[in-house]
Amino acid sequence: MVVSGRAHGGSMLQYRLYCLGGDEDGHKITKSYEIEALSDGEAIAQAKAMKQPVICELWNRARLVATIPPHRD
């Protein structure tokens, strides 16, 4: 699944959101999503809006951008 940001004429950056869990330590990737955004901040906002119930990591290539805590209602 690809989540796209708004097109503002700038270059879109490619991110991957990896949702973790599935083992005792929570270090197994259970889901991943592609995110396109204009900035780290926009990518973080998109990742948070996905409201994942587990901890997720947002990556831009080999760079860890953010750790997203589990969504709580």
Sheet strands (E) in the chain: 2-4, 13-21, 28-37, 56-60, 63-68
User: 73 and 53 in contact (C-beta within 8 Å)?
Assistant: no
Mean pLDDT in order along the chain per 10 residues (73 residues): 59 97 80 98 98 96 97 89
Structure confidence at residue 13 (pLDDT): 98
Structure confidence at residue 35 (pLDDT): 98
Give the global pTM.
0.83
Give the Cα separation of 66 and 41 in Å (integer).
Answer: 10
Give the Cα separation of 28 and 51 in Å (integer).
Answer: 19
Query: Which of helix, strand or coil describes residue 58?
Result: strand
